Structure 1
């Protein structure tokens, strides 16, 4: 009898076609789900008869309470090599092997710039006007050349965002709790003396930090109040780094020029969620890592993980 494998959140229905699953299909029956399960009860019911689950990044939490309701589960594969929503101790106690995949080859640098440029030049507003017969030119674009780009975080992704900003002729500054002058100089950007100075002195601010105790709520109402009324904020990292209620209030009050957001406190967003109708907001449905090459990497590696597990030598173990 073949094992049963569930692939979660396959919204585009590409998981079984974008990678070669033939090495395991003689031993594994693969079922992909193109919808999101709204709560733990629905998820537990859907996965109760599966031996293997493949999940993308941190979209679906696997706490101890859920794992306890999945008695058949033996292998959990999550894309990437870091996942904060899996209870590893509970998985070990239940005999569930947890494996990862290589990290993204195309982190959300490109989407960061798509959002930033879309905001700066009013792309969505002008596009909709052209398509609907609306007014010809209704926005005045914000310049990038000579303006300051402030980066919260200067890791692998932040550094690549900085390189693009420098290519546009922007002045680039960065800040994080652990950022050193040496690291800033290595990337070719200014080290901001404080978070407050970075926010107050930047025309565009982009968030590139990992979520943790020190970064949760890092940008709240007080920090947003420091931004210029002409400034734009972009967040493609984790939603909890920017206080969502404070951001909504700032957008509705017109305290900032706009925001580009790819991450949300609840995903997918409910139909009536206030982020869906907020003014001055350019929003995308967590597309930062959604690209053909990334999906080929993730699902191809998931097949490798399953094959190795079946051979009794699991690879890329997490937890």
Structure 2
């Protein structure tokens, strides 16, 4: 069976120890991303098995209809809205879900919080151009000495979503001497209370009180656009908004507008509505936004874990013993 692996931007997959699992089988790895259905259909026309690198490619019903050979999709990490599982089931395409880990995303979240609060990208960038102890943040509309940066101790860390990642980030905040404030579902708030964290009285209270607000929600139809312009407008002019979850959780264009108005004062972002983004993206043009290219899980241990699990699912499917199938009905569809 022909195996196609998409969106390996750094050409890393072939160098992973777990890649040896696919040695007996023909596998093609693509290191660039294409968006159009026509382009994807050409790229995948000979694929019997598709390995998805997280949600970097949208697999829609329209695309699946142009892939008559496709029998199996192995997802690295968890299945999300990028993959039309219902359409897969209708066409008899089995989908296997992989494993995930909150460690790397939580660590990146904290790295972004530290970088933004101490203005590290600004200081580093200016130092390379000969400017000593200059962050370059000099807008007259900024609060006094905003350019200096600030420590985290005794400040308030707001976390919306006390799941696996949010729980770890809350622990980091506690270790750094921050007051941690939690908002989320009733069940998650109860878990946070039992762990000794304070709860926000409301969503509005969370946005008003936070010096750093970090978003840790899963994307679904109920959470899409859940952060609105009116929420961001409640934030302090010195506050930092952090999103390493999903860009679509925030109302489209709301963050750019909010940063332009100075509430919040800064943002640290790892996720974007359409990826990869182009050089002229609006957030990249803002000096008050620290951006990383969706690297939440992009590190060696996570790659080995995620792809190792996906490749196990591929091998098991080829051997006739499919594992971790999220749509078992697809296995009953005649092809």
TM tier relative to shorter chain:
over 0.9
CA distance in 2, matches of 1:194, 1:133: 46
Determine which of 37, 53, 56 is the counterpart of 2:53: 56
Partner of 2:41: 44
3-state DSSP of counterpart to 2:19: coil
Task: Report if aligned partners of 2:234, 2:263 keep a CA contact under 8 Å in 1.
Answer: no
3-state DSSP of counterpart to 2:103: coil
Partner of 2:249: 241
Deviates more, 1:154-163 or 1:178-187: 178-187
Please tell me whether residue 133 in structure 1 is matched to residue 130 in structure 2: yes
CA distance in 2, matches of 1:211, 1:22: 33
3-state DSSP of counterpart to 1:276: coil
Partner of 1:295: 303
Deviates more, 1:47-56 or 1:15-24: 15-24
Partner of 1:101: 98
Partner of 1:111: 108
Q: Which runs of 5+ in 2 are unaligned?
A: 136-146, 328-335
Residue 107 of structure 1, CA deviation: 4.2
Partner of 2:153: 145
TM-score, structure 1 normalization? 0.94
Q: Deviations over 1:269-303 (max 9, x none)?
A: 13332222123000011100111111001221222
Determine which of 133, 144, 167 is the counterpart of 2:175: 167
CA distance in 2, matches of 1:217, 1:89: 24
Please tell me whether residue 120 in structure 1 is matched to residue 128 in structure 2: no
Residue 304 of structure 1, CA deviation: 1.0
Q: Deviations over 1:28-65 (max 9, x none)?
A: 21111110102222111111111111112222111111
CA distance in 1, matches of 2:50, 2:189: 44
3-state DSSP of counterpart to 2:248: helix
3-state DSSP of counterpart to 2:192: helix
CA distance in 2, matches of 1:193, 1:9: 42
Q: Which runs of 5+ in 1 are unaligned?
A: none
CA distance in 2, matches of 1:58, 1:315: 21
Determine which of 227, 231, 236 is the counterpart of 1:219: 227
Task: Report if aligned partners of 2:182, 2:189 keep a CA contact under 8 Å in 1.
Answer: no
Deviates more, 1:129-138 or 1:240-249: 129-138
CA distance in 1, matches of 2:201, 2:259: 27
Query: What is the alpha-carbon root mean square deviation over aligned residues?
Result: 1.6
Please tell me whether residue 275 in structure 1 is matched to residue 272 in structure 2: no
Q: Kindly tell me: are residues 143 and 20 of structure 1, through their superposed partners in 2, closer, same or farther at Cα, counting changes over 3 Å?
A: closer
CA distance in 2, matches of 1:137, 1:61: 42
Partner of 2:6: 8
Partner of 2:15: 17
